[in-house]
Structure 1
Amino acid sequence: MDQMKVSYEVMLSLAAEMVWDEALRRHRAEKIHYEIDTALAQGDKSAFCQLTNELRALER
């Protein structure tokens, strides 16, 4: 019975970590979108290219 409890706790911990990772990824993607909009408004082609590449890598 104790082994089942340990297995459940490990699975619960992994699920929580997956949720946390997804929240961080979404937050970073939102920030990148904002920075892309800012780069476009300022005509900063270099920043735009860098940020779009980062966003593509994040979405893989």
Structure 2
Amino acid sequence: MDKLKVTYEVMLGLAAEMVWDDAVRKYRSVELYKEIDQALASGDEKAFRHLTDELKSLG
């Protein structure tokens, strides 16, 4: 029974980590879109390219 409890706790931990990672990825994606818009508005091509590369890497 103890082995099942440990397994259950590990699975809960993994599920929590997956939810956390997804939330962080979504937040960063929203922030990147804002920063990309600002780079476009100011004509900053270097920042635009850097930010879009980071956005692509988020998957």
* Pairwise same-fold verdict (TM > 0.5): yes
* TM-score calculated relative to the size of structure 1: 0.95
Deviations 1:2-60 (A, max 9, x none): 1101100000000000000110011111100000000001011110011001100111x
Instruction: Give the corresponding residue for 2:35.
Output: 35
| Number of residue equivalences | 59
Give the TM-score, by structure 2 length.
Answer: 0.96
Q: Distance in 2 between matches of 1:25 and 1:8?
A: 26
1:19-30 equivalence runs, <5 A: 19-30=19-30
Q: Which runs of 4 or more aligned residues in structure 1 lie more than 3 Å from their structure 2 counterparts after TM superposition?
A: none
> Cα RMSD (Å) of the superposition?
0.5
Corresponding letter in the other structure for 1:13: G
Q: Within 1, Cα distance between the matches of 2:6 and 2:54? A: 38
1:18 — aligned with what? 18
